[in-house]
Structure 1
Amino acid sequence: MPRGSSPIVRRQRLGVELRRLRETTGLTGEQVVERVGWAAKSKLSRLENGRSRPDLADVLDLLDLYQVRGRDRDQLVAIARDAGNTRGWLRAYPVMTQRQRGYAELEAGSARIREYGLGVVPGLLQTPDYARVRILSSWPLSEQAGPVAPVPAQRPGAGPVAEPPAPQEPDTEVAARLARQTILTRSPDPPCYEAVLDEQALTGRGAPDDVRAGQLAHLAALASLPNVTIRVLLRDAPVAQHFVPYTGFSIYHFPDPEDPETVAVETLARELVLTDRNSVERYARVFGWLSEAALDPVRSRSWISSLVG
């Protein structure tokens, strides 16, 4: 699966550009909707907030209204095509679910991924047995407040408000999570992947002993990949000025410098997707603190291998 553009990030970027163009022309949202002849007033809002898959004809209507020509127009048309290329992107995966899809969209277009696992091992590193335990553990909550796939924020830097999708069967969810993991070994251009794993994620109550043993062996093997770096943060290691992270998180960096670096934070009921620069820089700084406090990659691999033994 070659690296392509991330549709979810392209939708966010397209929305920012369309909003900027509208504000530059001095038009209100209602004026734009009236001039292009759209029946639904919410269509423009959803486009500008990156909350809907764009129709190229709608984008062309807006570019005509804003009198965008030449190279700028060509670039925005290309971004709109990437943002709407859902079917082409999904063909790269043998199976995918709505619950996994938002993360897969972010991961597939990433050049670099940094993750911190506080209480559990991140999804890209999980074995099938470990993934099944994690998915089943939250199954009783799925009808009330099940996790949802990340979606772009309503406004820059804000969290999503989409209703949780209906979960698939556990076997399907596990298969979709494993499908996401193929990016670590894809050829060409696998992402540079870095993870800081808290000791409690590796020795705590996240899985039964036999499942955890298999997970540790899997991590030791993954750490040998040239594009994968794993660090272990021991429970008594001070982080910066005794900073305590609130949650695990993921940071995604994309090859196009104009695509916003993105942070995803998983919560019980919603996944927060942050793209505003201040928030992203805060998480990047925290990841730096965690990396400095953790064991180096060689010692981390030895530590994990000793647990396997």
Structure 2
Amino acid sequence: MPPASVSPIMRRRRLGQHLRRLRELAGFTGEQVVERVKWASASKLSRLENGRSRPDPEDIAALLDLYGAEEEVRRELSATARAAGDMREWLRKTYPVMTEQQREWAQLEAGCVEICEYNPVLVPGLLQTPGYARVRITSARLVGEGRRTADHLELEVQAREARQALLSRSLDAPRYTAVLEEAAFGHRAGPAEVLREQLDKLHELSTLPNISLHVLPRDTRLDNGYVAPTAFSLYRFADQLDPETLAIEGGYTDFVSTDTNIINNYKVVFEWLRAAALSTTDTRSWLAEASERLAETTADSTVGSGPATAPAQRRRHSGRLTER
């Protein structure tokens, strides 16, 4: 798969940051701009500056005229506005299959040179096997997402797989680092065969030169008993003019920010988590051993049904992963 281009969403955010900076340098408030360019909606400028709307070339030209932008700046921002325009065409060229649910994550990941992720209870989507993804998507449908068809489920799985291709592409694959909580592999996360397949997949991914995985054992303490409250992802892009981005995954509501102060706080937290977790080498060993223990536990559960296969006996083989 060829390197994915930067998504129109990131171009919109970059354009918005430039427009806000030009407005502030020109000494205008948002209300003054809306009045002078005679826009009917006061929120139109806000949506443009926050990268939340598709830019109209005539609107961008009107703003650049008002701000007295130099010709070089005009050419650059006009090109950025064009690149920020056609979302459908970008998706068609970049992904073989995509769904609305997976699209926002794909837009953030495209064009990244570095992605750092932490999730306190699940394996991040970029690392999930199809089996693990099916369990996650199916379980999420039980709360607030209605009943969807089996075809829709498979489309979601395929879209997630399409996103994952960026980690193993031959050119310009991003540097990817994840801190994985041991809870992501507990019995509550899915059937034993699904979990074992996921462990084996992670072990395979951990051998790639651009991927660093760190398991955080359940009994590991951070200084002062700190506990990270939520899942989050940090994105850094090839073009330094594209803002670093934070995505906080809240289960049913996600939050995205380019605020440097907020992002720096999460960078600190991520370094705390990575330092407390197992090294990449120890994580690779942990994943292999956990898969073996799970296989032993599964095998034990299929032998007979008498006292010899009672839970207490199986737990002696299972180790920390399956005692839960």
Match of 1:101 among 88, 100, 103: 103
Q: 1:101 Cα deviation (Å)?
A: 0.9
User: C-alpha distance in 1, partners of 2:256/2:5?
Assistant: 20
2:4 aligned partner:
3
Letter in 2 for 1:118: P
Aligned residue runs from structure 1 range 99-248, under 5 A: 99-143=101-145, 169-248=152-231
Q: Answer whether contact 2:181 2:215 (CA < 8 A) is retained.
A: yes
Letter in 2 for 1:269: Y
Q: Answer whether contact 1:249 1:264 (CA < 8 A) is retained.
A: yes
Letter in 2 for 1:3: A
1:307 aligned partner:
290
CA deviation map 1:237-292 (0-9, x unaligned): 12233211111211101112222211111113310112111111111111111111
Letter in 1 for 2:242: D
Aligned residue runs from structure 1 range 287-302, under 5 A: 287-302=270-285
User: C-alpha distance in 1, partners of 2:28/2:52?
Assistant: 21
Percent of aligned pairs with the same amino acid: 52
TM-score, structure 2 normalization: 0.83
User: C-alpha distance in 2, partners of 1:234/1:204?
Assistant: 15
2:71 aligned partner:
70
Q: Answer whether contact 1:6 1:110 (CA < 8 A) is retained.
A: no
Q: Which moved more, 1:55-64 or 1:103-112?
A: 55-64
User: C-alpha distance in 1, partners of 2:31/2:257?
Assistant: 27
Alpha carbons of structure 1 residues 193 and 171: separation in structure 2 relative to 1, 3 Å:
same
Q: Which runs of 5+ in 2 are unaligned?
A: 293-324
1:18 aligned partner:
19
Q: Answer whether contact 1:3 1:190 (CA < 8 A) is retained.
A: no
1:241 is paired with a residue of what secondary structure?
Answer: helix
TM-score, structure 1 normalization: 0.87
Rg larger in structure: 2
Higher helix proportion: 2
User: C-alpha distance in 1, partners of 2:184/2:264?
Assistant: 25
Q: Which runs of 5+ in 1 are unaligned?
A: 147-167
1:218 is paired with a residue of what secondary structure?
Answer: helix
Letter in 2 for 1:272: F
